[in-house]
Amino acid sequence: MSLAGTPPTVGTAPTPTPARAGALTALAVVLIALNLRLGISSASALLDALRAALGFSPFVGALLPTLPTLCFAAAGAGTGALSRRFGAECTVLLALAALTAGLAVRAVPTTWALLAGTVLGMSGLALCNVLLPALVRTHFPRHIGLLTGLYTTTLALGAALASAMAVPVADAAGSPSLGLAAWALPALVATAVWAGVRAPRADRSAPEPPRISPWAMARTRLGALVTAYFGLQALNAYAVVGWLPSLLAGHGMADGRAGLVLAVTQAVGIPVSFAVLALARDPGRLRGAFVVVSAAMLAGFGGLLVAPVALPMVWAVLVGLGLCSFPLVLAVIARSGGGPAETTALSTLAQSLGYLLAALGPLAVGLLHSATGGWTAPMALLLATAAAQLAAGVALSRPLPESR
C-alpha cells in the first residue's frame, strides 16, 4: 500500500468531498481497511487445519501464504491502467466484488477452490491496497494524515481480529473451509457501502499532471532504497503472518493459542503506528524510528529461533513493534519526490517490485521447513532479512531524500 497512488482521473484536480458524502466515504474507507488483511490472517491461522482436511502437498502449503504477495506485485504494476480506464471508484467496487467472491469460493472443500479463491480474492484485495491511499488523497485532501492513520489502524485491527477469531469461527462453522469463507461477509458489507460512493467533482481547467515512469525511478537512489526497504519489511511481515501459527503449533502450542499470539503481533501496531507516524514527520528522528522497529524485529525473531514457546507473548510484542515498519515506509513515500507524479511513480515501483521480493519470504520459509523438518533454518533466514531491512532503513534516512 502507498500513501500516494494513481489519481483516479488524469487531467483533473479533485475538490474535497461534501460533508454528507464525505461521511459515507469515510465509513466505506474504514470498512475496506478492515477487510485488507482478514482473508490473509484467517488463512494463516487455519493453515494446518486446512492441510489436514484437504490433504494438500507441502508445496501447496508453502504456496498458499505466498499468493497474496504475488497478487500484490501484479496489481502494483497494473492498477494505474485500470484506474485510468474505469475510474478509481468503479475499480475499487469491482475489486471488492472480486474479494467477496474469492473468499466465498474458498468454502468449497477442495485444494483447487482454495487456491483459485485465494488468487481471485487477493487480486481484488491488491487493487484496494493500491487505490485506497489515492482515494483518501482525492476525497479528503485536507485530512490525509487523519484518514491515513485511521485506515492503517483499522487494517491492523482487522488483521488481529482475524488471527484471534479464525479458529473459533471455523470450529463454529464445522470445517476450516467454511470458517475461511465466513470472512466474505465483512467484504460483502464493504462492497454494499462502497457502492454508494461517488467521485468528487473535478476542476477540468487544471493542467494535466506529468507522467513519470516507475522504472525511471528504479534508477535513482531514492527509488532503489525505498523499494528495497518496502520489499524487505513486507517479506518479513508476510512470513510472520503466513507461518507464525504453524511454527508455534510445531512446538506443541494449541492452534487457538497460536492464532492468539499472531493476533498480538498485529494488535501491537494499533497504538504504536500513530507514534511511528509522528516520529516520521521529524527528519531528525526518522533514523531512530527505523532503528527501533528493525531492532525489535531482530530481537523478536531471535526469541522465536532460540525459545519460541518460552515467552511467546514477549516475542509477539517485539515482532509487532517490528511490523510498524509498514506505516513508517508509507510516511517516507508520502513525503518523497518532487511532486505528486514522482510520488505516484515511487509508490508503484515500491509495490510492484517490493511485493515481488516479499513473495520470496513465505515461500522460502515453507520450503526450508519442508526440507529440514524444523524451524531453525527458516528463522535464521528471517534474522538475515531483518538485518538487511535495518541496513536499508539506515541508508534511506541518511538523509531523508526529498527528490531524485
Domain membership of residue 204 (yes or no) is: no
Q: What is the pLDDT of residue 41?
A: 86
Domain membership of residue 340 (yes or no) is: yes
- Give the three cell numbers for residue 311: 515467552
Domain membership of residue 5 (yes or no) is: no
Report helix, strand or coil for 228: helix
Q: What is the pLDDT of residue 215?
A: 77
> Which pLDDT tens digit goes with each residue over 60-96?
888 888 888 888 888 767 777 787 788 888 999 999 9
Task: Characterize the bridge pairing of strands 202-203 and 13-14.
Answer: antiparallel
List CB contacts of 63: < 8 A, sequence separation 6 or more: 115, 363, 366
Q: Backbone phi, then psi, for 183, in 5-degree steps?
A: -75, 0
Q: What is the pLDDT of residue 32?
A: 93
Q: CB of 226 within 8 A of CB of 332?
A: yes
Element (H, E) at 401: none
Q: What is the pLDDT of residue 285?
A: 76
Bridge partners of 14? 202
Domain membership of residue 192 (yes or no) is: yes
Domain membership of residue 312 (yes or no) is: yes
- Domain extent at residue 273: 15-199+214-396
Q: What is the pLDDT of residue 275?
A: 76
Domain membership of residue 350 (yes or no) is: yes
CA of 138: how far to CAs of 55, 143, 276, 325, 395, in Å? 46, 10, 24, 25, 32
Residues of the chain under the 70 pLDDT cut: 1-19, 76, 145, 200-212, 280-283, 334-335, 337-341, 343-344, 399-404
CA of 219: how far to CAs of 177, 363, 404, in Å? 45, 28, 9
| DSSP per position, 362-399 | HHHHHHHHHHHSSSHHHHHHHHHHHHHHHHHHHHHTSS
Q: What is the CATH number of the domain that holds 107?
A: 1.20.1250.20
Q: CB of 45 within 8 A of CB of 265?
A: no
| DSSP per position, 182-222 | TTHHHHHHHHHHHTT--PPPEETTSPPPP---HHHHTTSHH
Write b or e for each residue in 87-104: b if 16 or more Cβ atoms lie within 10 A of its Cβ, otherwise e.
Answer: ebbebbbebbbbbbbbbb
Q: What is the CA radius of gyration of the chain?
A: 20
Q: What is the pLDDT of residue 7?
A: 37
Domain membership of residue 263 (yes or no) is: yes
Domain membership of residue 288 (yes or no) is: yes
CA of 22: how far to CAs of 28, 148, 196, 253, in Å? 10, 15, 11, 46
> Which pLDDT tens digit goes with each residue over 116-162?
999 999 999 888 877 777 777 778 877 776 777 787 788 888 888 88
Look at the chain and report how many structural domains it folds into.
Answer: 1
